Amino acid sequence: MKEMPLSVCPVPTEQQPVNEYEQLKESFFFRWTTLSGIAYVRKLLWVWAWTWIVVGPIAAASFPLKKEPLKFALAGSGGGLVFVVLLLIRLYLGWLYVRDRLGQETVCYEESGWYDGQMWEKPSEVLARDRLIVAYQIQPILNRIKQAFAVVALLIGSGSVIWVFN
């Protein structure tokens, strides 16, 4: 059986997994995970700090700063981390979707609408290229997000222990 060259790929350009990867990599939000370690952490801290605008007044209403400063700080910090967790979930799911599309042997696509779904089997060289992208580009990003989840879980856990023993 003769393999199809790349130019004969029937999948619309915007639905090709490698193009979805490039779009995700270049988007403002998902690009955060490709930044250097310090820049990535800075972005997450920036989100956490800005969430204090929402959670700070709620924490102050629940735990007055003058009476219970530690509980105020823990409640505000924990509330801010909820937003960070939601952000990390979104990042993880976006990269996971593209990883799965790149790693599959067949590509599901739609030619003109939801009612005409098609399948295209990737040629071996396309599959090899896509799996290299997964192994060397996307998997490190997913590992970085998992590490951020671990740090957030550690912070929430230590905050909970401090809360209990206060």
pLDDT of residue 7: 52
- Beta bridge partner(s), residue 120: 107
- In sequence order, what E strands does the chain have? 106-110, 117-121
92, part of any domain: yes
Residue 118 lies in a domain: no
Q: How many domains does the chain have?
A: 1
Cross-strand partners of 107:
120
Residue 49 CA, chain-centre distance (Å), reads 19
Task: Retrieve residue 83's tokens.
Answer: 């937003």
Residue 6 belongs to a domain: no
DSSP annotation of 14 reads: G
Tokens of 156: 């929430």
The verdict on residue 16 lying in a domain is no
Residue 29 inside a domain? The answer is no
Cβ atoms 12, 41 nearer than 8 A: no
Give the per-residue pLDDT at 9.
82
- The span from the CA of 101 to the CA of 131, in Å, is 10
Q: Containing domain of residue 56, as a range?
A: 46-105+126-166
Nearest to 18 by CA among 136, 134, 143: 134
Tokens linked to 45: 């801290």
What is the spatial distance between Cα 162 and Cα 74, in angstroms, rounded to a whole number? 9
**Interatomic CA distance for residues 26 and 162, integer angstroms:** 40
Residue 136 within any structural domain of the chain: yes
- Whether residue 159 lies inside any domain: the answer is yes
pLDDT for residue 23? 96
The answer to the question of residue 31 being in a domain is no
DSSP 4: P
- Rounded average pLDDT per 10-residue block, the chain, 166 residues: 57 91 95 94 96 94 93 95 97 97 92 77 94 97 97 96 92
Residue appearing with tokens 């823990």? 74
